[in-house]
A = this chain, B = another copy of it.
Amino acid sequence: MVQDAAAPPLAEGRPTRPYVLPPLPPGHYYVEPPDPREAGSGGTFVLEDADPFDHYHYRVKALVHSSRTPFQTVVIADTYNFGRALFLDGAIQSSEEDEALYHEMLAQPALLMHPAPRDVLVIGGGEGATLREVLAHRSVQRAVMIDIDREVVELCRELLPGWHCGAFVDPRASLHFEDGRGFLENTPDVFDIIIVDVVDMLENGPAQRLYTRQFYDLARRRLRPGGVLVVQGLEFSFADYKAHAALARTLRTAFSEVHSYKTCVPSFLGSWGFLIASDTVSPHDFSADALDRAILARLGPNWLDHLTGAFLLASFCHCKETQFYLNMPGPIIEDDVAFVEPPDIEEEEPAGAQLPALSED
């Protein structure tokens, strides 16, 4: 059956703005966002079901691509809230709206805190945006990217041009399709920075081999003196810290300086962690001003969308409860040993639970 009746065109259109739009700075312009009433009822959604309990449905304007590679299912969709987005095995990887935040946070702290990164290795990072952030640094002479899934990389190259911005054709870049662990075991090369940007180690799947003590030992041996390893550090907040904290403990078996930072990535629906590991680099050695100067000198005033010195240092600052969990001992992640999360830690109701917090004596 199909409509015959004279349905009205969309209600009365958008409400009129009862004010004059202020002028914008040079190089900026106004764009109307999608109108929920135009989207209509029903609709198409991409389901994120990576959480064991909760579900999130991203409403999409268009499903751009959907397939299964030898390694994973791939969905690329134009969402209403976050623009174009990439989903692997049902988990969002990055979105047009906030990929710049994610990729700047992943790549730039290590690059900016290293005195002069020259050789950089990216493991994973199929969208090409991590590579883009690396190649933004003129000091980088060679950027090697290793991703196991050729189909995903080719899809990203074609369908996510705003992510890689031409990084794949930069003469300093080389791209190999193989297992990142195998590459590290066989390469004679050493690097100033290694960035691990792979999918979460869900359910002890094969990605776990890129999260173990043995892997980090190997990575350390492929770093030059002064080299820095950075790892995408999974969801990370006081409400969801166990895998991140285990990663931090595991990295500490191989590196003397291991620091957790995080930021809220809107399309990830929460706070995302990162880990920077080395024997030399500590964020506490940097002031916001020093970082701002490094940004200006190395990247200029316009490259970064999000990072500033102060914002970056603030991202290393965690709340009391988060810091408590990070400091707790616990299991580390080993090859061939299933990672089983420890139980939750609860606290007996502290004395201060009476009002006021400090009673008068």
Tell me whether A346 and B98 are in contact in the complex, defined as CB-CB below 8 angstroms, given that A42-B48, A321-B306 are known contacts. Answer: no
Give residues 181-208 of A contacting B (CB, 8 Å). 196-199, 205-208
Give residues 60-92 of A contacting B (CB, 8 Å). 60-63, 66, 68, 70-73, 75, 77, 79-82, 86-91
- Interface residue tally on A, bucketed by range: 35 or more
Q: Are A319 and B101 in touch, CB under 8 angstroms?
A: yes
Q: Are A18 and B338 in touch, CB under 8 angstroms?
A: yes
Copy count, this protein chain: 4
Q: Are A2 and B147 in touch, CB under 8 angstroms?
A: yes
Tell me whether A125 and B330 are in contact in the complex, defined as CB-CB below 8 angstroms, given that A30-B344, A31-B346, A46-B43 are known contacts. Answer: no
0/1 interface trace, chain A 14-57, chain B, CB 8 Å (1 if under):
11111101101001111111101011111111111111111111
Q: Are A197 and B1 in touch, CB under 8 angstroms?
A: yes
Listed stretches A219-227, A250-258, A275-283, A349-357; interface member: A349-357
Tell me the nearest residue of chain B to A351, going by C-beta: B302
Q: Are B355 and A197 in touch, CB under 8 angstroms?
A: no
0/1 interface trace, chain A 138-151, chain B, CB 8 Å (1 if under):
10100000111100
0/1 interface trace, chain A 302-317, chain B, CB 8 Å (1 if under):
1111111011011101
Tell me whether A82 and B239 are in contact in the complex, defined as CB-CB below 8 angstroms, given that A71-B6, A317-B314 are known contacts. Answer: yes
Q: Are B136 and A355 in touch, CB under 8 angstroms?
A: yes
Q: Are A45 and B42 in touch, CB under 8 angstroms?
A: no
Distance of A337 Cα from B15 Cα, bound (Å): 12
Distance of A149 Cα from B5 Cα, bound (Å): 9
Partner of A358, one of B30, B152, B298: B298
Q: Are A7 and B72 in touch, CB under 8 angstroms?
A: yes
Q: Are B319 and A350 in touch, CB under 8 angstroms?
A: no
Give residues 263-308 of A contacting B (CB, 8 Å). 263-264, 266-267, 269-271, 298-300, 302-308
- Determine which residue in A21, A40, A209, A313 has the highest number of CB atoms from chain B within 10 A of its CB, and name it: A40
Known: A17-B331, A45-B55. 14 other contacts (CB 8 A): A1-B93, A2-B126, A3-B72, A3-B198, A4-B147, A5-B71, A15-B338, A28-B348, A39-B53, A42-B47, A44-B47, A54-B79, A55-B56, A165-B355
Sample (9) of A-B pairs whose CB atoms are under 8 Å apart? A5-B71, A6-B71, A7-B70, A28-B348, A36-B52, A45-B54, A55-B56, A237-B266, A306-B320
